[in-house]
Chain A
Amino acid sequence: MTAKRGAGGMAQFIDRRLNPRDKSLGNRQRFLRRTRAEVRRAVDKAVAERTIADAANGGAVSIPTDGVGEPQFHLSRDSGERERVLPGNKDFVAGDRIEKPKGGGGSGRRASDSGDGEDPFSFALSEAEFLDILFEDLELPDLVKASLKDVSQREFRRAGYTNDGATPNLAVLRTMRASMSRRLALRRPTAAGIEQLEAELAALRAETEPGVADQLRIAELYAEIERLKRLQRAIPFIDPIDVRYNRFTPTIVPRAKAVMFCLMDVSASMGEREKDLAKRFFILLHLFLKRKYARVDIVFIRHTHEAAEVDEQEFFYGRGTGGTAVSSALKTMIAVRDKRYPAADWNVYCAQASDGDNSASDTQVSVGLLREAILPQIQYYAYIEIADEDGGQRYGGGGDKDLWRGYAQLKPAAPNFALARVVGRDDIYPVLRELFAKPARKGAAQ
């Protein structure tokens, strides 16, 4: 073992497995930034195709190759002459002719070189990246984005003191207390004690005719002060063993269950755009609930003049015909809630999307239902009225729609009721703003 081997010298063996793994993160972000527009289209498509509960799970997206090409000068494959050597000759002899495969392509090998493939470039987005792009559309504030992406269910709680920790967690009072008891126990001279002796010394030396006793006392004081100062230097004011830190332990935050009712008007006036907006509205609410509650059920209720509980596919893509009676949906919701989701066990959230058309008489019924039966037993009720792309111009300067007018009366008395008119994606978040405001404030206060 002692003999040094050859020219190789000493070999080193290094375990790098614990090194940071995300060395490529910066490059990955640069890549996403460059392909932003394409990735965004891909995310839009994914949102449209997925269910509400899966919408935000990240996953594979494909983008066209145009934006990510790296051009170079190449030699063309179909001009001039070239010669190649191939292995595995079976029965050729010199001079044989072999027909070229039809459809051009030069050498007949399937082209797989980068640059000329028409296949879209496909890769996987992480959940965080996916949400980033989704949220960008919805114009969520940063704090909300951060809290929505935080999937950890743990919270750090104060739990006594510890002997080691990070400087910001220093527990000053505890540290001083430990320091003081140690100083007392070791009889560290106090600054005041020394000052007193020094004052006495000064007084004695100031006397014009010191006696013998005074002389002796002066010598004694010198020695004593020297001894005390030495002692003071030897026993530090704060010793590393005094230092205490606040201790935090991760605690699992108890999470209950919630149910989310999605109510939507599916009469003919709700087109693709309207449904897409509604879907984003539901996704956002679902994300919020998923973060807050361990279990989230989703109930889909669609209505025309009559309502029915349906599955998600039917909810978004089925077509109903008939008039419009919002109260039918509310009644169905109350029935489902009473049967399956008693308010004692479940946190109930409700999100309603509509184009706002309803008959005046039914609006009165609906408002009554909300006031009496729904709002008192619900965490949050959010209503969006999806307006035309021209921003509701068609009302002229004139009146709001019936449903809006009816709902607006409820607002002052019900803090858990939110309503908004939505034209584009960026209008969605304000409807749910209050929902997100609470945890955000709590986060800020910590």
Chain B
Amino acid sequence: MTRADPAQDAAPTRGGLLFDGAEWDFATVRRVYEAIERIACDELGLDVFPNQVEIISAEQMLDAYSSVGMPLMYAHWSYGKRFVRDEALYRRGYQALAYEIVINSNPCISYCMEENTMAMQTLVIAHAAFGHNHFFKNNYLFQQWTDPAGILDYLDFAKRYVASCEERHGLELVETTLDAAHALMGQGVFRYRRAAKLKLGDYERRLRERQEREAQDYCDLWRTVPSGAPARENSISEEEARERKRRLRLPEENLLYFLEKNSPTLRSWQRELLRIVRNLAQYFYPQRQTKLMNEGCATFVHYTIVNRLYEKGLISEGALMEILHSHANVVAQFDFDDPNFGGINPYALGFAMMQDIKRICVLPTAEDREWLPDIAGRQDWPAVLRDVWANYRDESFVRQFLSPYLMRKFRLFALSDKASESSYRVEAIHDSEGYRRVRSSLADSYDVGAGEPDIQVVDVDLLGDRELVLRHTSRKGVSLAETGREATLRHVRRLWGYDVRLEDAPAP
């Protein structure tokens, strides 16, 4: 912030508007970008990856949608399905397209639609190229689990690898393997154990080296040498089986990882496909855990920046109004009994919480000092927010920072739903007895791991028929849904090659 003054003096457009009217061109976009960057870096202290802003058309946005928002992706029919669905919805006017898509990569790529007005491009750049970008670069989950510098190379590799498999082994076989792997994507991430950090950039080179080494070491003579194993087979005891089970590191929560490493029937290219799907699932896992914070951060950043642009006389009142209109749509929160209600809007709650933290820093009430003593009255709100963005995920963020003030503002209440009862029970509301229960209950609902079935590999009958045993551990008596259960199990069987049993274990 010490640098703010000279930077402002250097601005060529000081006092004048950066743009006028709805039309945009590249020179204006660049000028606006620089003005935004000045505020983002100097006033908010954001720390971002280099930005790459790409202007795309509506069709290209549809393309990007269908490949889970990534600029390149391997081929699979399910992406085609998503495409035809989104296209139909879009063409019939049921669904508008997003203003932007941003990718956690270095450089950070954000897509802006060509249809956007200049005011909207301003909003989008502030939101994506600075808000999301800062979050990607600084949040601990992203730092631990993703490799933004390597992701695009890795996707490029994945795309070419899948294409070459299709060429060598046929579309059908590749499709069957990918279908099965996709079915297990939810069980294809490490949640607790920290894997070695992915070095996606080196990945292809390492794979090639491994294959070359195998090709060099291969000697057909070894095939003819009788192995010593069969003679001892009968004497393998239970004890040894248990030893082998230990060596398989059971139980294992990452089904895709287990199958990739231990399936007796998969070919090496199929294992590679499993690894690709697993790596992607892992890459997206931090995003699923930080949706509320990520959107809250980006929305707070764009809101703060456009207001500063207006204060500095860089954008007109009309442009500000247009941006705020769009902002208001994004952060709308419908009540639970409204027909439009679709859950808690992450933009609304996320933005409100960021604004609230700023308020608590600047103008704390006695209640805030009691509930959030660490940040109440610390005037340096940008630093506090930067610290929050770096060190929390949705679940811990809500548990730590949701203030009674906001719970009153959103009029939150906790509702329990027991299958055995014919009615819901209101457990807590926004009053002094209820604050803690509501906050903790809401925090729980942001725990991604808890919202998904806990399924682990617990046993393999290596001595007998090689049956694989999966165990679903239910929490609070919630069982697995019947829909999709058998079909998904069939996919597991296909990958394992032998029978697979899924048993239910009650929580201890």
The chain A residues found within 8 Å of chain B, CB to CB, are: 1, 3, 5-17, 19, 21-24, 26-34, 60, 68-90, 92-100, 106-107, 115-116, 121-124
Further pairs besides A100-B423, A122-B88, A124-B91: 10, Cβ < 8 Å? A3-B7, A11-B33, A15-B26, A16-B54, A17-B56, A24-B67, A30-B77, A32-B80, A73-B481, A107-B417
Is there an interface contact between B416 and A83, defined as CB atoms closer than 8 Å? yes
Is there an interface contact between B414 and A84, defined as CB atoms closer than 8 Å? yes
- Interface: B413 (CB within 8 A): yes
Which of A17, A27, A69 has a CB less than 8 Å from the CB of B60? A17
In the complex, what residues of B have CB within 8 A of residue A86's CB? 336, 344, 412-413, 415
In the complex, what residues of B have CB within 8 A of residue A92's CB? 413, 426, 429
**Majority-rule SS of A interface residues:** loop
Task: Report which residue of B47, B77, B411, B418 has the largest number of chain A beta carbons within 10 angstroms of its beta carbon.
Answer: B77
In the complex, what residues of B have CB within 8 A of residue A96's CB? 425-426
Question: In the assembled complex, how far is the CB of residue A42 from the closest CB belonging to chain B, in whole angstroms?
Answer: 13
Is there an interface contact between A88 and B67, defined as CB atoms closer than 8 Å? no
What separation, in Å, do the CA atoms of A325 and B129 have in the docked complex?
77
Which 8 residue pairs are nearest across A and B when measured between Cβ atoms? A88-B335, A31-B80, A80-B477, A6-B41, A27-B80, A80-B478, A71-B487, A123-B84
Is there an interface contact between B428 and A94, defined as CB atoms closer than 8 Å? yes
Is there an interface contact between B81 and A83, defined as CB atoms closer than 8 Å? no
Is there an interface contact between A89 and B83, defined as CB atoms closer than 8 Å? no
**Majority-rule SS of B interface residues:** mixed
Is there an interface contact between A87 and B484, defined as CB atoms closer than 8 Å? no
Which of B423, B425, B442, B453 has a CB less than 8 Å from the CB of A75? B453
Chain A, Cβ-Cβ closest to B255: A73
Q: CB-CB contacts of B467-502 with A at 8 A, as 1s and 0s?
A: 000001011111111111101100100000000000
Is there an interface contact between B487 and A69, defined as CB atoms closer than 8 Å? yes
Beta-carbon contacts under 8 Å, B411-466 to A: 411-419, 422-431, 433-434, 438, 441-442, 444-445, 451-453, 455
In the complex, what residues of B have CB within 8 A of residue A89's CB? 336, 411-413, 429-430
- Interface: B272 (CB within 8 A): no
In the complex, what residues of A have CB within 8 A of residue B129's CB? 11
What separation, in Å, do the CA atoms of A106 and B479 have in the docked complex?
13
What separation, in Å, do the CA atoms of A17 and B115 have in the docked complex?
11
In the complex, what residues of A have CB within 8 A of residue B10's CB? 1, 3
- The tally of CB-CB contacts under 8 A between chains A and B is 287
In the complex, what residues of B have CB within 8 A of residue A78's CB? 419
- Interface: B78 (CB within 8 A): yes
Is there an interface contact between A85 and B442, defined as CB atoms closer than 8 Å? yes
What separation, in Å, do the CA atoms of A74 and B452 have in the docked complex?
7
In the complex, what residues of A have CB within 8 A of residue B66's CB? 24, 27
Given A72-B484, A107-B417, answer yes or no on A23-B60 (Cβ-Cβ < 8 Å). Answer: yes
Question: In the assembled complex, how far is the CB of residue B336 from the closest CB belonging to chain A, in whole angstroms?
Answer: 4
What separation, in Å, do the CA atoms of A30 and B77 have in the docked complex?
5
Residue pairs across A and B with Cβ atoms less than 8 A apart, 14 shown, are: A8-B37, A12-B50, A23-B60, A24-B63, A27-B75, A27-B83, A71-B183, A73-B480, A79-B479, A94-B427, A94-B433, A94-B434, A99-B422, A123-B85
What separation, in Å, do the CA atoms of A43 and B29 have in the docked complex?
47
Is there an interface contact between A24 and B79, defined as CB atoms closer than 8 Å? yes
Interface residue count on the B side (C-beta < 8 Å): 112
- Interface: B280 (CB within 8 A): no
Question: In the assembled complex, how far is the CB of residue B448 from the closest CB belonging to chain A, in whole angstroms?
Answer: 12
Is there an interface contact between B423 and A85, defined as CB atoms closer than 8 Å? no
Which of B423, B476, B487 has a CB less than 8 Å from the CB of A81? B476
Is there an interface contact between B444 and A87, defined as CB atoms closer than 8 Å? no
Question: In the assembled complex, how far is the CB of residue B111 from the closest CB belonging to chain A, in whole angstroms?
Answer: 8
Given A6-B42, A78-B419, A80-B478, answer yes or no on A73-B79 (Cβ-Cβ < 8 Å). Answer: no
Is there an interface contact between A87 and B410, defined as CB atoms closer than 8 Å? yes
Given A31-B77, A85-B442, A86-B412, answer yes or no on A11-B417 (Cβ-Cβ < 8 Å). Answer: no
Is there an interface contact between A31 and B84, defined as CB atoms closer than 8 Å? yes
Which of B30, B77, B80, B83 has a CB less than 8 Å from the CB of A13? B30
What separation, in Å, do the CA atoms of A438 and B184 have in the docked complex?
55
Is there an interface contact between A80 and B52, defined as CB atoms closer than 8 Å? no
Is there an interface contact between B429 and A13, defined as CB atoms closer than 8 Å? no
Given A15-B55, A92-B429, answer yes or no on A81-B480 (Cβ-Cβ < 8 Å). Answer: no
Is there an interface contact between B37 and A11, defined as CB atoms closer than 8 Å? yes
Is there an interface contact between A30 and B80, defined as CB atoms closer than 8 Å? yes
Which of B50, B425, B429 has a CB less than 8 Å from the CB of A10? B50
Question: In the assembled complex, how far is the CB of residue A228 from the closest CB belonging to chain B, in whole angstroms?
Answer: 55
Is there an interface contact between A106 and B417, defined as CB atoms closer than 8 Å? yes
Is there an interface contact between A60 and B88, defined as CB atoms closer than 8 Å? yes
In the complex, what residues of A have CB within 8 A of residue B46's CB? 6
In the complex, what residues of A have CB within 8 A of residue B26's CB? 13, 15
What separation, in Å, do the CA atoms of A289 and B82 have in the docked complex?
36
Is there an interface contact between B81 and A31, defined as CB atoms closer than 8 Å? yes
What separation, in Å, do the CA atoms of A105 and B426 have in the docked complex?
19
In the complex, what residues of B have CB within 8 A of residue A74's CB? 453, 480-481, 483-484
In the complex, what residues of A have CB within 8 A of residue B426's CB? 92-98
The chain B residues found within 8 Å of chain A, CB to CB, are: 7, 10, 12, 26, 29-30, 33-34, 37-38, 40-42, 46-57, 59-60, 62-63, 66-67, 75-81, 83-85, 87-88, 91, 107, 111, 114, 129, 171, 175, 179, 182-187, 333-338, 341, 344, 410-419, 422-431, 433-434, 438, 441-442, 444-445, 451-453, 455, 472, 474-485, 487-488, 491
Is there an interface contact between A8 and B419, defined as CB atoms closer than 8 Å? no
In the complex, what residues of A have CB within 8 A of residue B422's CB? 99-100
In the complex, what residues of A have CB within 8 A of residue B491's CB? 71
In the complex, what residues of B have CB within 8 A of residue A100's CB? 417, 422-424
In the complex, what residues of A have CB within 8 A of residue B477's CB? 79-81
Given A16-B54, A26-B75, A98-B426, answer yes or no on A70-B480 (Cβ-Cβ < 8 Å). Answer: no
In the complex, what residues of A have CB within 8 A of residue B472's CB? 73
In the complex, what residues of A have CB within 8 A of residue B483's CB? 71, 74, 115-116
In the complex, what residues of B have CB within 8 A of residue A24's CB? 62-63, 66-67, 79-80, 83
Is there an interface contact between A124 and B87, defined as CB atoms closer than 8 Å? yes
What separation, in Å, do the CA atoms of A60 and B85 have in the docked complex?
11
What separation, in Å, do the CA atoms of A389 and B249 have in the docked complex?
64
In the complex, what residues of B have CB within 8 A of residue A69's CB? 484, 487
Is there an interface contact between B83 and A28, defined as CB atoms closer than 8 Å? yes
Question: In the assembled complex, how far is the CB of residue A207 from the closest CB belonging to chain B, in whole angstroms?
Answer: 68
In the complex, what residues of A have CB within 8 A of residue B415's CB? 83-86, 98
Chain A, Cβ-Cβ closest to B433: A94
What separation, in Å, do the CA atoms of A11 and B125 have in the docked complex?
11
Question: In the assembled complex, how far is the CB of residue A85 from the closest CB belonging to chain B, in whole angstroms?
Answer: 4
Is there an interface contact between B81 and A68, defined as CB atoms closer than 8 Å? yes
What separation, in Å, do the CA atoms of A52 and B337 have in the docked complex?
50
In the complex, what residues of A have CB within 8 A of residue B452's CB? 73, 75
Question: In the assembled complex, how far is the CB of residue B173 from the closest CB belonging to chain A, in whole angstroms?
Answer: 13
In the complex, what residues of A have CB within 8 A of residue B185's CB? 72
Question: In the assembled complex, how far is the CB of residue A424 from the closest CB belonging to chain B, in whole angstroms?
Answer: 28
What separation, in Å, do the CA atoms of A116 and B416 have in the docked complex?
24
What separation, in Å, do the CA atoms of A386 and B20 have in the docked complex?
70
In the complex, what residues of B have CB within 8 A of residue A88's CB? 333-338, 341, 410-411
What separation, in Å, do the CA atoms of A31 and B85 have in the docked complex?
11
In the complex, what residues of B have CB within 8 A of residue A72's CB? 183-186, 484, 488
Question: In the assembled complex, how far is the CB of residue B332 from the closest CB belonging to chain A, in whole angstroms?
Answer: 11
Is there an interface contact between A70 and B417, defined as CB atoms closer than 8 Å? no
Which of B40, B47, B48, B60 has a CB less than 8 Å from the CB of A16? B60
What separation, in Å, do the CA atoms of A308 and B144 have in the docked complex?
80
In the complex, what residues of A have CB within 8 A of residue B413's CB? 85-86, 89, 92
Chain B, Cβ-Cβ closest to A30: B77
In the complex, what residues of A have CB within 8 A of residue B49's CB? 8
In the complex, what residues of B have CB within 8 A of residue A3's CB? 7, 10
